[in-house]
Amino acid sequence: MGVNVEIAWQAVTVDDTGVAVDVDSYRVYLDGVLMTETTGGDILKVTKSNLAEGAHQFAVSAVVNGVEGPQSAPVNFTAGSGVPLAPTGVLVTLLP
């Protein structure tokens, strides 16, 4: 049984020379393979249902005038099996 995730990103507003751009769409990659392409540049998140358990990698690119820009830095994600994560931020205080 898989998990459901939401992938969100910030809008691209300028090109590599600093000129303002209107993004046509965004392409979302899952494990190096195109997962989906948005239908507009104003859509800044997508969902993936039934993602298999295990380690995955997401990346996003912008498309302007039919030209795809570079992919974002990959984001690693592990879809778990429902086992809770270990607690963090544990603090021990000596009492008088």
Residue in this structure with the two tokens 């090109």, named with its chain if needed: 15
pTM to 2 decimal places: 0.81
Give the start-to-end residue ranges of the domains of the chain. Answer: 3-79
Place of tokens 């086992």: 83
Spatial distance between the Cα atoms of 65 and 63, rounded to a whole number of angstroms? 7
Mean pLDDT of the chain: 90
**Average confidence (pLDDT) over 7-24:** 93
**4 band by pLDDT with thresholds 50, 70 and 90:** confident
Phi, psi of 65 (to 5 degrees): 50, 40
Residue range 50-90, pLDDT digits in tens? 999 888 999 999 999 999 999 999 999 888 766 777 788 88
Query: Looking at residues 6-21, what average pLDDT do you find?
Result: 92
Q: At the topology level of CATH, where does 3-79 sit?
A: Immunoglobulin-like (2.60.40)
